[in-house]
Amino acid sequence: MDQPGRRLGRLRQSGGKIPWDYFDRVDDFYVWLDRMDATGIQLLNPSSIIRWNADKKYLRDMEQAGVQIVPTHWLPKGSEVVIDELFDKLGSDQLVVKPAVSGGAKNTFTLTRLETAERLPQLTELVQHEDFLVQPFQPQIQTEGEWSLIYLGGQFSHCVLKTPKSGDFRVQHYLGGGIEPREAPAHLRQAADSIIAQFAQGCLYARVDGVDADGQFLLMELELIEPFLYLASSEGALARYEAALHE
C-alpha cells in the first residue's frame, strides 16, 4: 500500500475532489471513479466498494447475505406509488421515504396514513426522477437514538449515539441532532464487526449506522463514502486514523 503522503498527493493530482455532493451528480461521480481507475490512482476506500455503496440498493445485497436491515420496499424510478399498500406491506402507520442515492437527509421525510392525500403528489413527482425506498419508521430513533460505530483500517475505533432534536427524526447535527460518545453495546458491536468483515474489506474508514430493536441490531446504512467519523469524540481516534493510513 502507498505511504499516506503519496496516496493523498495522488488524490490531489486527480483534481482535489471530495465526494460530499456525489448524490447530486452521481453519474459524474461514477465517471470520476472510472477516471481514477484508468489512471491508477488509489482511493482511500476501494473504488469498487464506493460504486456499490453509492446506491442504497446495496442494502438488498446485505439482506440477502443475512444482515438484518430495516425492512425496505423499493420504488423504482417511474413506478406507480400506492401508499396504502405500503403501509400494509410494511406493517406500520408511519413510513420513512428517502432516495436510493442520497445524503444529508435530502428529500427524506416521514409519512403517516393521515398525510397520504397531502403528500402523494410530492412522492409521485419525486419517483418520476429517481429510485426511492420506503421503510417503517423506527420509534427507537426518537426514544433512544441511532447508533454509529466507526471503524478505521478495518478495526473498531469508537461509537456515538445520535439523537434528533425534539419533534424531528433526522439525527444529522446540522439539523439540530445531538451526538454523544458511548460505549458500544456488545451485541451491536458484534453485528457491526461482522458487517465490516464482510462488506468493507480494504477500507480505510467505515461507519455502521443502525438501531437497537429489542436487542437486535437493525442496519440503517453502511457509510463508506463521505461519513462524518466523529474523530473528536473519542480520545486517540485521530492517532488510530493516522496509524490506519500508514498500514
One digit per residue, pLDDT tens: the chain, 247 residues? 333 333 333 333 344 455 678 888 899 999 999 999 999 998 999 999 999 999 999 999 999 999 999 999 999 999 998 888 899 999 999 999 999 998 766 788 888 888 888 888 888 999 999 999 999 988 888 788 899 999 999 999 999 999 875 555 555 565 556 788 999 999 999 999 999 999 999 999 999 999 999 899 999 999 999 888 999 999 999 999 999 998 8
Cβ atoms of 83 and 116 within 8 Å: the answer is yes
Q: In this predicted structure, what is the pLDDT of residue 168?
A: 57
Q: In this predicted structure, what is the pLDDT of residue 139?
A: 86
What would be the CATH architecture of the domain defined by 73-136?
2-Layer Sandwich (3.30)
Q: In this predicted structure, what is the pLDDT of residue 102?
A: 84
Give the list of residues 6+ apart from residue 191 with CB closer than 8 angstroms, or none: 68, 210, 217, 219
Q: In this predicted structure, what is the pLDDT of residue 92?
A: 92
Q: In this predicted structure, what is the pLDDT of residue 109?
A: 86
Cβ atoms of 14 and 47 within 8 Å: the answer is no
Q: In this predicted structure, what is the pLDDT of residue 2?
A: 36
| CATH of 140-246 given 3.20.20.110, 3.20.20.70, 2.60.40.10, 3.30.470.20 | 3.30.470.20
Parse the chain into domains and list their residue ranges. 4-43, 73-136, 140-246
Q: Write out the three cell numbers for 174.
A: 446540522
Cβ atoms of 108 and 170 within 8 Å: the answer is yes
CB atoms within 10 A of CB 157: 21
Cβ atoms of 126 and 132 within 8 Å: the answer is yes
Whole-model pTM: value is 0.86
Q: Which residues pair with 169 in a beta bridge?
A: none
Cβ atoms of 209 and 220 within 8 Å: the answer is yes
Cβ atoms of 102 and 108 within 8 Å: the answer is yes
Q: In this predicted structure, what is the pLDDT of residue 12?
A: 37
Q: What is the DSSP track for the chain?
A: ---HHHHHHHHHHTT----TTGGGSHHHHHHHHHHHHHHTPPPSS-HHHHHHHTSTTHHHHHHHTT--B---EEE-TT----HHHHHHHHT-SEEEEEESS--TTTT-EEEEGGGHHHHHHHHHHHHTTS-EEEEE--THHHHT-EEEEEEETTEEEEEEEEEPPTT-----GGGT-EEEE-PPPHHHHHHHHHHHHHH-TT-SEEEEEEEEETTEEEEEEEE-SS----GGGSTTHHHHHHHHHH-
